[in-house]
Amino acid sequence: MIIFPAIDIIGGQCVRLVKGDYATAQKVAEDPLETAKQFEAAGAEWIHMVDLDGAKAGYPVNTEIYRNIAQNTHLKVEVGGGIRTLDTIRAYLELGIERVILGSAALKDPQLVADAVQQFGAEKIVVGIDAKNEMVAAEGWLETSGVHYIDLAKEMIRIGVTTFIFTDISKDGTLSGVNAEQLRKLAEATEGQCNIVASGGVHTIDDIVICRDLGLYGTIAGKSLYQGTIDLKEAIAAADTLKIRPMTIDDYDALYAIWTACGNGLNNLDDSREGIEKYLRRNPTTSFVAEDGGVIAGAVLCGHDGRRGYIQHMSVSPLYRRRGIGRRLLDAALAALKAEGINKTALVAFRKNALGNAFWESMGFGLREDLNYRDLALTEMVRFDPEY
């Protein structure tokens, strides 16, 4: 489970509200960028940010702050507040924002959400569902609708949304504990269909454990971090349910389902159960799966010929992306190769897959010459570790 430290902005200042009431705004930190860097130093990979001025105005107000953090830290930034158009979404993504949060737009303009998912991809769009007495609120929580929060989630899933942030407004900023019952109901009603992030009321590590045990994707912590009732490092450690373990042939059905969901190119011989079983017999220690609560979330199939390592498949289930799972799988595979004296590892990648290739490059792989394999624009990516 991911811990999302939160920074809310009013007038360029880091603030927290109580129950969404702007009159309760209290400054909690001096500088947004320095605060974000402190979160990063504590081990955070993501940061949750809300433009409270934008939420009230209906358009972005504090954009420069979010750009500054996205471009001057390694944090993945998600931003909400005042995002009402595709142009605004595009502008944020072009600034380096990892994903945007649509709140009021989900309630009032579901077509915008559908268009955003289609144009930018579900991994870039989050729907924020904020509720008072289980009914969805909008416009910076200044208006309450007659739409039940679970009904809105189901409608958004139908149009392609895969990630939600659920906030019980009565809990937000109160340090009174998460609304476990409403979170449980949402998780059960949407099981296997989406990622859920809990927001509102987080007070102690017990709240982190509750959300973790509910199988949630993430938990947002705001006031608890600023007031010191939660230590961010401890929260990240408590939230980590992911286990990286060696792959076995018993994992095959789950692996095949992930490969299919990811659109991997498969062939009947090498990627059959028999083919993978032979592969694992040849290389029994260098392939791994990521398991979260008994569910296989991703896998790396990796082997070597005694001179060079090679990666045949590396996939993360669509519902488990943006959690750093691919990085942890690859770290495990490369460490296993190094233990066997292999210091060069390669894979073949589509040149047109800019997002995937950016990941490999971030892990130290470099592009090599064009292979022209089967008339496809492929290229070899090689990582060399001279210290081994």
Q: What single letter denotes the amino acid at residue 232? A: L
**Shortest CA distance to 197 belongs to which of 242, 225, 167?**
167
Is 209 strand, coil or helix?
helix
Candidate list 51, 130, 168, 207, residue with the active-site label: 130
Token output for 48: 């949750």
Residue 53 is among the residues annotated as catalytic for this protein: no
Contacting residues for 88 by C-beta, under 8 A, at least 6 apart: 59, 60, 82, 100
How far is residue 97's CA from residue 41's CA, in Å, rounded to a whole number?
Answer: 19
Distance separating alpha carbons of residues 293 and 242, to the nearest angstrom: 7
With CA atoms as reference, report the closest residue to 131 among 96, 165, 169.
Answer: 169
Contacts of 263 (CB under 8 A, 6+ apart): none
H or E element, residue 6:
strand 2-10
Q: Which DSSP symbol is given to 225?
A: H
CA pair distance 145, 371, nearest whole angstrom: 57
β 21-29/13-18 pair status: antiparallel
Q: By the 8 A CB rule, do 145 and 137 touch?
A: yes
Kindly list the distances between the CA atom of residue 41 and the CA atoms of 74, 231, 232, in Å, as whole numbers in the listed order: 10, 12, 10
Residue 123's region, left for phi above 0, alpha for psi from -120 to 50, else beta, is alpha
- 292 tagged catalytic: no
Active site positions, annotated: 8, 130
